[in-house]
Amino acid sequence: VAETIRRSVEQHETALAEPVLPRVSVSVGVAAGWSDAVDALIEEADRALYRAKNAGRNRIALATQSGVPLLAA
């Protein structure tokens, strides 16, 4: 789902004004339900989001536990 959203935003042309606006990109951090605590999942997703941005933006990063991705790409 995250990759579908990222790709859709990347391919969308925004032409609301002249000149045409620059392309928009999306970085996403994904966390799965390995913790019952919602706050912990949000923190993991947030850390994954910043890893995605630091890797060059317009990317998806998966939350990890002990450095191992929790989801298959």
| pLDDT tens string 10-44 | 887 766 666 666 777 888 898 887 556 788 888 88
Q: Which two tokens stand for residue 5?
A: 């959203």
Confidence check: pLDDT of 70 > 80: no
pTM greater than 0.75: no
Higher pLDDT among residues 22 and 47, named by residue: 47
d(CA 29, CA 11): 20
- Contact status, residue 34 vs residue 65, Cβ threshold 8 Å: yes
d(CA 59, CA 51): 9
